[in-house]
């Protein structure tokens, strides 16, 4: 059996990696920072302000131990205040640096924060089922589309993963290229992927602290998801998702169940 070859076996991934690599002749700290670009918010959409959320209230080591992928959810709705705390921990905004610069709970290349958070909501107290866009600076949600999200459709959208349709909501992290690629060129795409990972880890740990379950999702139909979320795929691309809801098992039970599925010891 021959060894794996990055270039031969996964040429598209190799082309991306080498195309964004830096050497002496093409290395720079980046171009000029673009003007501050507002978020995707639309003032004409129906608006839901987010209430103050509960304190996370656990030590970091406890949150880390409780972070276990959840593939069994109850039908219970997620309280709006709990969702508020989750979003604030993931990609919230605090105007500690003045009226323009917004500090976030994750690092971002150049402080440009090119990501957006959308929600596919099935069961959240106080929210109609549908698609929402999170506006951190105003601490609220705008209703992009009020629509029922059938289980069969959600399962299809996430490439047959049945547990996604059981969750109360799905968080969608997307990347607005114009906010950072103008400064960093193609390397900025790498930075966006790193930032999405930071945001997702915050969401995971906050979910653990708040007693929620989540499972992260890299498998989905990109164009269909963008269309549902009201995203222009030429300007903004979905990167990473997480199904979130009230878990139907304790973390230790979820670990044991997953181990049995793999045929290993928990």
Residues 35-60 have pLDDT tens digits of 666 678 888 899 999 999 999 989 99
High-pLDDT (> 90) share of the chain, %: 68
- What is d(CA 108, CA 173) in angstroms, rounded to the nearest whole number? 14
| Model pLDDT for residues 140-191, shown as the tens digit of each residue | 999 999 999 999 999 999 999 999 999 999 999 999 999 999 899 889 999 9
Q: Are 115 and 171 in contact (CB under 8 A)?
A: no
Contacts of 23 (CB under 8 A, 6+ apart): none
Average pLDDT along the chain: 88
| Model pLDDT for residues 97-138, shown as the tens digit of each residue | 554 556 899 999 988 999 999 999 999 999 999 999 999 989
If pLDDT is split at 50, 70 and 90, which confidence band does 25 have? low
pLDDT of residue 41: 82
């Amino acid at each position: 059996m021959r060894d794996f070859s990055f270039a031969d076996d996964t040429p598209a991934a190799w082309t991306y990696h080498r195309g964004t690599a830096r050497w002496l002749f093409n290395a720079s700290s980046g171009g000029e920072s673009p003007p501050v670009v507002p978020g995707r918010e639309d003032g004409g959409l129906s608006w839901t302000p987010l209430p103050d959320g509960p304190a996370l209230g656990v030590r970091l080591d406890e949150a880390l131990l409780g972070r276990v992928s959840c593939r069994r959810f109850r039908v219970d709705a997620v309280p709006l205040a709990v969702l508020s705390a989750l979003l604030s921990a993931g990609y919230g905004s605090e105007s500690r640096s003045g009226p323009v610069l917004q500090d976030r709970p994750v690092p971002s290349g150049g402080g440009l924060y090119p990501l957006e958070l959308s929600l596919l909501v099935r069961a959240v107290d106080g929210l109609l089922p549908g698609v929402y866009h999170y506006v951190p600076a105003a601490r609220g949600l705008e209703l992009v589309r009020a629509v029922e999200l059938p289980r069969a459709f959600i399962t299809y959208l996430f490439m047959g993963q049945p547990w996604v349709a059981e969750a109360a909501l799905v968080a969608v992290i997307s990347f607005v290229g114009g906010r950072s690629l103008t400064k960093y060129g193609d390397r900025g795409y790498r930075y966006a992927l790193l930032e999405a990972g930071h945001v997702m880890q915050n969401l995971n740990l906050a979910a653990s602290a708040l007693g929620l379950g989540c499972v992260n999702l890299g498998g989905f139909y990109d164009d269909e998801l963008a269309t549902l979320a009201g995203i222009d795929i030429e300007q903004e691309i979905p990167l990473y998702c997480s199904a979130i809801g009230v878990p139907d098992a304790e973390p230790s039970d979820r670990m044991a169940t997953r181990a049995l599925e793999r045929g290993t010891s928990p």
